[in-house]
Amino acid sequence: DAKTTQPNSMESNEEEPVHLPCNHSTISGTDYIHWYRQLPSQGPEYVIHGLTSNVNNRMASLAIAEDRKSSTLILHRATLRDAAVYYCILMKGGGSNYKLTFGKGTLLTVNP
Amino acid sequence: DTEVTQTPKHLVMGMTNKKSLKCEQHMGHRAMYWYKQKAKKPPELMFVYSYEKLSINESVPSRFSPECPNSSLLNLHLHALQPEDSALYLCASSQHYSSYNEQFFGPGTRLTVL
């Protein structure tokens, strides 16, 4: 399975943008890039996903490098509620083995 | 309704007990999942059901027995568990079993095996 690499932790200030990086140099052409987050004492929550083009939704934006070997999750204005572990996950397209394989993720701390 | 519900929230059981975890969704999703999460670790996939049929079993010990009686309901039957099975058990669902559908997670059942 293609692996992702994320920083163990990052810190941000409230109301500032946050850029969470993810490297996935062994991504294959049909792999989707998914981001989930897990707030303390809660189940994971879907954030965003994309294949090749940049994606926006109400929670965040996903910027995908042209060669697809890296991506960045962008939270436009961090709030205290965004403090969580953020997971960058590749899901294989094609075939029949679609698994969310969670890595260690990035622990985001948001300072007031 | 965009919610996945899990019952019970907490469960304490002895190693000789038999218990069941329940998961329900009313979003019309046809794929449902069980994950296990140990303290301070990421979730790990256990089982996947697609259209009420077991699609993936991640080599889970037979003391865990999943069941999908209909498209809205997913159970996990527990028997003769070990203390190391204590963990948060998460249920999730998605519209279909695919690489591009997001998964919706429930809040989990925190299981303690004595």
Residue A34 with chain B: CB contacts under 8 Å:
102
- DSSP code for A5: B
Instruction: Please check whether residue B51 is in contact with residue B71, taking contact to mean a CB–CB distance below 8 angstroms.
Output: yes
Is residue B100 over pLDDT 90? Answer: no
Which pLDDT belongs to residue A3?
Answer: 87
- DSSP code for B84: G
Is residue A24 over pLDDT 70? Answer: yes
Tens-place pLDDT, residues B22-79: 999 999 999 999 999 999 999 999 999 999 999 999 999 999 999 999 999 999 999 9
- Residue B18: enclosing H or E segment and its boundaries? strand B18-25
Is residue A96 over pLDDT 70? Answer: no
Summary mean pLDDT of chain A = 93
From the CA of B63, how many Å to the nearest CA of chain A? 22
Residue B103 with chain A: CB contacts under 8 Å:
36, 44, 46, 100
Which pLDDT belongs to residue A101?
Answer: 87
Are the beta carbons of B42 and A102 separated by less than 8 Å? yes
A46 and chain B: CB distance < 8 Å anywhere? yes
Which pLDDT belongs to residue A108?
Answer: 98
From the CA of A15, how many Å to the nearest CA of chain B? 27
Q: Which residues pair with B105 in a beta bridge?
A: B92
Tens-place pLDDT, residues A36-66: 999 998 999 999 999 999 999 999 999 999 9
